[in-house]
Amino acid sequence: MVSITINGNKVDVPNDYTVLKACRQEGIDIPTFCEDERLRPSGACRMCLVEVAGSGKIVTSCSEKVWEGMEVRTNSKRVMDARKQVLKLIVMDHPLDCLTCEKSGECKLQDYCYEYEVGSKLKGKTERRLPIDDSNPFYYFDPDKCIKCGKCVRICSELQCSDAILMEQRGLDTKVSTPFGENLENSPCVSCGNCVSYCPVGALMPKSKTRYRAWETKKVRTTCAYCGVGCQIDITVKGDRIVEAKPAIGKANEGLLCVKGKFAYGFVNHPDRLKTPLVRKDGKLVETSWEEAYSIIASKITDIKAKHGAGAFAGLTSARCTNEENYLFQKLFRGVIGTNNVDHCARL
């Protein structure tokens, strides 16, 4: 442990902490674009600047390690002016189309510009320099809205291990690209969408079929139903429809999703989805109650077992079920019906 001072208050923190982590432990909010606690610090966006007293330095708090006797100022005039200047430089090369941008209401750049009073007198980018890449079937990339923080590149490389995108060139010409300059469809991208989920601005966006604004929706934490892994997801709901899915931090997925968990939520509201049990009456399938359906199933099982024995049954469950559901299924067949003819598909 080391003793440091943050804004005049002495605190004890582990000696492997960064300044940013120490500040967050004390409930002090510091703006960030590129930071993610699962990634190695890069200090690329420069928004997390703080002042280290005595050294005369303004440093990136996400990469600066704490040391004994360190004195940090997070809200001095020098720090606030530096952050404001960073925002101005970003906004000068960014289209100011917040009125029509789909990220409006949940955009970090928009939030910070409001907080630091930046943008009202800046013109921003008015002409498109680079074309939108919409070759991927699930999301699109608008390079003119990219702030070059590199967060998407590092998530793809360090967490997803796909290395489908990279930072190319230097200075004002820096841009997010793909190996050999291919479009996203022809890149090594596996369409997991994790870069989309963590992009702080509107550069990477899902091709949602339902238009919505952040203030029209609510977030619901749930478990992805596509397989038995148990990935935690945050569902964005507008009215009674799911309009987006984002990964949540959980023990099974650690804030990541696959292409199905991220983009394949349309089945929930699909018109062909069965919402009630069906039984065949007079040659036709008709809706019934769960109680009647259970009664019919139990009756059929009893009759068949009496006539042909337990060996006449076979059960096939799904790899999409949870471990608990599969356990109960095999227990029903082995313990109640009396057969070991139980299997499941290995396909997700």
pLDDT tens for residues 81-103? 999 999 999 998 899 888 899 99
Band of residue 7 on the pLDDT scale cut at 50, 70, 90: very high
Band of residue 124 on the pLDDT scale cut at 50, 70, 90: low
* pLDDT above 80 for 122: no
* pLDDT above 90 for 346: no
The candidate with the shortest Cα–Cα distance to 30, out of 100, 103, 90, 108, is 108
Instruction: Dig out the tokens for 318 from the structure.
Output: 């799904």
Percent of the chain past pLDDT 70, that is, above it, reads: 98
Looking at per-residue pLDDT, the higher value among 230 and 10 belongs to: 10
Phi-psi region of 282 (alpha: psi -120 to 50; beta: other; left: phi over 0): left
pLDDT of residue 229: 86
Tell me the C-alpha distance between 51 and 57, whole Å.
6
pLDDT tens for residues 292-333? 999 999 999 999 999 999 999 999 998 878 889 999 999 999
Within its chain, how far is the Cα of 339 from the centroid?
43
DSSP conformational letter for 49 = E
Alpha carbon dihedral 74, 75, 77, 80, in 10-degree steps, equals: 80
Domains (ranges, CATH) in the chain? Answer: 2-89 (3.10.20.740), 128-207 (3.30.70.20), 212-273 (2.20.25.90), 278-344 (no CATH)
Looking at per-residue pLDDT, the higher value among 341 and 320 belongs to: 341
Give 216-252 as a DSSP string: G-EEEEEE-SSSSS--EEEEEEETTEEEEEEE---TT
* pLDDT above 80 for 73: yes
| Mean pLDDT, all residues of the chain | 94
pLDDT tens for residues 265-281? 998 989 999 999 999 99
Cβ neighbours, 10 Å, residue 125? 15
The candidate with the shortest Cα–Cα distance to 7, out of 24, 21, 28, is 28
Q: Give the CA distances from residue 95 to residues 9, 201, 206, 287, in Å, rounded to whole numbers and listed in that order.
A: 40, 11, 19, 53
The candidate with the shortest Cα–Cα distance to 277, out of 304, 295, 299, is 295
Q: Is 253 in a helix, a strand, or coil?
A: coil
> pTM of the entire structure?
0.88
* pLDDT above 80 for 249: yes
